[in-house]
Each structure stands twice: as C-alpha cells, then as structure tokens.
Amino acid sequence: MKNKCKIRIALIFFAIAAIAALYFVLLYQPSVEITIYNDNPNNNTENNSTNKESADNNSAKESTEETDRQLILDKWKGKDISQVKTDKKAIALTFDGGANADGVERILSILKDNGIKGTFFLTGQFIEKYPDKTKLILESGGEVGNHSYSHPYFTKLTDKEIKTELERTESGFSKLNATFQPFFRFPYGDRNEETISKINEDGYIAIRWTVDSLGWKGASGGMTKESVENRVISKTAPGAIILMHLGTNPDDKTQLDSDALPEIISGLKSQGYDFVTITEILASWNN
C-alpha cells in the first residue's frame, strides 16, 4: 500500500510539473510577425503607372473631342448646311429616327453589306422607346446627331424650350454612354436665323439635306419603291446630303426607304459616288 501511495504522489507531482511547464511556454512565447512578400516588387508601380496612363489617355481623348467640336462650331455656326461644296463625288446618307424603328435592322444590314457608315439623327423619345435599336445604330460605327426630344416645330418654341429639347436628347445618349456629334437636324426642316443661332449657342450646327427621298410618305402618300429610287438618284450631286427615315409610314406601314436603299446605293455607286459620314463630307468642303 505504501508503494502504491508513493507512485500516486509521484504521478501527481509529475502532472503538476508538466502543467506548469506548458503554462510557462505559453506565457513567454514570443509573438510571431507574419509578412506577405510580393514576389514582383514592381507590381504596385506598374499598376499605378497603368492607371495614370489610362486616365491621361481618357483626358486627352475628351480634350481632343471638345477641341474638334469647337472647331466645327466655329467654322459652321450661322449656316444651314444642305449641301457641301466639293469637287469629290462624295455623298452622305442620313437617316432620321422618330416615329418608329421598324426599318432599323434592315437598313443597318444593307449599309454593312455595302461597307457604308451612315449618319443618324435621333429624337430623345426614339432613344427612350427603342434603346436596343439605338444601341445597334451606335454599334454600326456610324455617326449620331440630335433631332430634338419630341420633334416639335422649333420656330414656335422659346429659347428655354429649345434648350430643354436638346438637353433631354443629350441625356438619352448619355444613359447609353453614347458619343454624339454636334450636329442638329431641325424637325420638319422648320428653322430661321434665330433658331439656328440658338442651337449654335447650345453647341450644335444645323444639318439640313439636299434631297428628301419622301419615302416617309408611304404608298398611301402616292410614293412607290421605284419613285423613291428615281427621286434620290436623279437629284444627287457631289456633296449631297440625302435624307431618309428609319421607320415605316405610320398609316400603311410601308418601308419604302429601306426597300429602295439597295438600288439607290448600287445606282449611285455605278456613277462613281463614295458614301461618307457628315463629318467626312464637311471635311471635303472647298474653301
């Protein structure tokens, strides 16, 4: 019994000693500092440099665009451009978007097949009602301009109402992150010196047209595919700006502009014409 008591006492002392040793180790263990090493010490510098370069590029692009816009405005303010004075056989196909978007995809397909970039004048209501079609237009690589918000007669508006019409359309473009040109087409061609001066003041130049296809009149208005073709081809001359529409006639739903477009393009190509944007045709103006 005595031996068993001695063994138990020894085990108790051993356990106490082990616990005390463990406590000592935990109590006096030095803190461990963890350092994460970057195996490429240049990463931060490169990232900062890339970000700065990207910001600088964006800033430079915006500055260039603003400069270009101002140059265009300074050169063409006060004018109502219906045809460009040029020796080149260059013409611009332009399309207004307002009432509906029924012909958008077909027109874009025809332009793409022929390697042509159009210029599109869109109303703010068109942009709001047909955002997907508007995106297709933007992705086509052509140019877009302002055609007012609600397509009113501008000579009947106050200066404040004109500004609102322009800004509401600009807002629609901005929501789609779209870049638009400083080009404005008056609804119905309704303009005078005062309204031209006002849109110049608001950052736009006036783009009219040389020939209106009249396809918007539709079959119910006495037009046919053939009459649209003949009208455009016969009235086109170097520097011409051709007006067509993206929609169908609201009454009879005919799409005479898109129907006639392939033959118009082939007919004018056979006469040696090149198709350009408004920016490009303005650049060809003979001073």
Of the candidates 96, 102, 212, 257, the residue annotated as catalytic is: 96
Half-sphere exposure of residue 119: CA atoms within 13 angstroms, side-chain side: 27
96 is catalytic: yes
Instruction: Using alpha carbons, select from 111, 60, 62, 68 the residue that is nearest to residue 282.
Output: 68
- 146 strand-pairing partners: 122, 184
- What span, in angstroms and rounded, lies between the C-alpha atoms of 101 and 154? 23
CB 276 within 8 A of CB 111: no
Separation in Å, CA 34 to CA 21, 31, 37, 38: 26, 10, 10, 13
Of the candidates 102, 151, 245, 257, the residue annotated as catalytic is: 245
Count of beta carbons in the 10 Å neighbourhood of residue 253: 13
Residues 6+ apart with CB under 8 A from 133: 101, 104, 105
CB 278 within 8 A of CB 181: yes
CB 184 within 8 A of CB 169: no
147 is catalytic: no
DSSP designation for 171? H
CB 191 within 8 A of CB 155: yes
Instruction: Using alpha carbons, select from 247, 246, 249 the residue that is nearest to residue 219.
Output: 249
Quickly list H helices, the chain: 2-28, 43-76, 104-113, 124-129, 131-139, 159-175, 193-201, 225-235, 256-269, 278-283
Residues acting as catalytic residues: 96, 245
